[in-house]
């Protein structure tokens, strides 16, 4: 046998226990059932009966989506997956990994499958790190770090998107100025940190000068500040691709919700709301954002007078599209790759 099984066991230990997975499933189920029932508006009967009636109403909304909306949504989500692939490929090549776009896309699809479909203690990012280390020359730590930076750059694009939306809408919605000020202050602090934590300043500190070159703090510092100098081009390219990811996800949500409501919806509202909702449902307290995402959509879209039924229906419809894409593309790639592992073992 190869080292595949021990390595995967190690990854499982580092990514979380079965108990934490079970807890996240319980949290997701509880929040999901409560939000669906509240959005359905069924006032009488036992809770489970009201939930089931409300759930069927939400599913009927997804089933009522026009074929054109469903097609555009799937195509735009494919754009998201391709853009994520390009972004990660930029970071991998910049760090010396000789990986083709085809293989990078394969890793992204497998990671997407683990993140959204398979109830496993192995996170999609960990699985991606394993495969890229297995198939390409390079260290495990560097492979993991490219994935971490991929997330950091994606988060930066998310916050900048929220800032852009809030700046545009603050004249109409004065409350959004708080978001503008908070994000502007965060950007200022980040810029200040880039200056203060530069190595030429840290070297003036006695404790930092005494650290050996192999110390974890020095390694982390060099890894982060690599993108301030040598990796600046790759960082900017990856950030630009991240805005395409944001725009595609926002547009998918906009066209789905537009088919559920009769009122006119303004795209810039979605530029503010969707990134915030994605941050909330990305918190590691639920499974693939189920429950938490529906709650976020219900609360946030009330600010623009969208009913909870339409908001929750949009969130569930988007997740079902993600599931369908993950199953249709990710599962065959994973099974084919798994067969290759067995043959090698």
Span 188-207, pLDDT tens digits = 777 776 666 666 666 666 66
Task: Confirm if 330 and 113 have CB atoms less than 8 A apart.
Answer: yes
Residue with the bigger pLDDT between 313 and 193: it is 313
- Please choose, from the candidates 37, 27, 65, the residue with its C-alpha nearest in 3D space to the C-alpha of residue 309: 37
Task: Identify the domain containing residue 239 by its residue range.
Answer: 4-344
Q: What is the CA radius of gyration of the chain?
A: 22
What's the distance, Cα to Cα, between the start and end of the chain in Å? 5
CB neighbour list of residue 187: distance below 8 Å, 6 or more residues apart: 163
pTM: 0.82
CB neighbour list of residue 191: distance below 8 Å, 6 or more residues apart: none
The percent of the chain in helix, strand and coil, each rounded to the nearest 5, is 80, 0, 20
Half-sphere exposure of 290 (CA within 13 A, CB side): 19
Which tens digits make up the pLDDT trace of 36-82?
888 877 777 788 888 888 888 888 889 989 999 999 999 999 999 99
Which tens digits make up the pLDDT trace of 111-169?
888 888 765 445 677 788 777 777 766 666 777 788 888 988 998 899 888 888 888 77
Alpha carbons 289 and 319: distance in angstroms, whole number: 9
Residue entry with tokens 């950030």:
239
Axis-axis angle for helices 124-135, 101-116 (nearest 10): 150
- Report the domain count for the chain: 1
* Complete DSSP assignment for 239-283: HHHHHHHHHHHHHHHHHHHHTT-SS---HHHHHHHHHHHHHHHTS
């Amino acid at each position: 046998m190869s080292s595949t099984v021990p390595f995967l066991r190690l990854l499982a230990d580092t990514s979380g226990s079965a108990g934490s997975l079970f807890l996240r499933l319980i949290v997701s189920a509880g929040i999901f059932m409560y939000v669906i029932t509240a959005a359905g508006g069924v006032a009488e009967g036992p809770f489970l009966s009201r939930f089931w009636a409300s759930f069927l109403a939400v599913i009927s909304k997804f089933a009522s989506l026009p074929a054109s909306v469903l097609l555009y949504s799937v195509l735009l989500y494919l754009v998201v997956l391709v853009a994520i692939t390009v972004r990660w490929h930029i970071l991998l090549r910049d760090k010396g990994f000789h990986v083709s776009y085809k293989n990078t896309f394969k890793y992204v699809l497998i990671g997407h499958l683990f993140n959204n479909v398979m109830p496993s203690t192995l996170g999609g990012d960990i699985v991606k790190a394993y495969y890229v280390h297995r198939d390409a020359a390079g260290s495990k730590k560097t492979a993991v770090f490219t994935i971490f930076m991929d997330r950091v750059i994606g988060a930066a694009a998310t916050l900048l998107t929220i800032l852009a939306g809030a700046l545009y809408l603050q004249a109409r919605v004065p409350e959004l100025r708080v978001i503008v000020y908070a994000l502007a202050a965060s950007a200022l602090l980040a810029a200040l940190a880039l200056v203060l934590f530069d190595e030429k300043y840290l070297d003036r500190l006695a404790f930092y000068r005494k650290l050996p070159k192999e110390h974890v703090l020095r390694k982390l510092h060099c890894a982060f500040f690599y993108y301030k100098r040598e990796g600046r081009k790759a960082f900017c390219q990856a950030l630009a691709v991240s805005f395409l990811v944001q725009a595609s996800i926002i547009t998918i949500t906009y066209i789905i919700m537009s088919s559920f409501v009769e009122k006119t919806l303004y795209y810039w509202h979605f530029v503010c709301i969707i990134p915030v909702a994605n941050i909330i449902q990305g918190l590691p307290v639920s499974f693939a954002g189920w429950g938490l995402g529906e709650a976020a959509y219900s609360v946030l879209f009330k600010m623009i007078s969208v009913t909870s039924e339409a908001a929750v229906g949009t969130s569930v419809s988007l997740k079902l599209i993600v599931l369908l894409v993950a199953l249709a593309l990710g599962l065959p790639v994973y099974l084919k790759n798994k067969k290759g592992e067995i043959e090698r073992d």
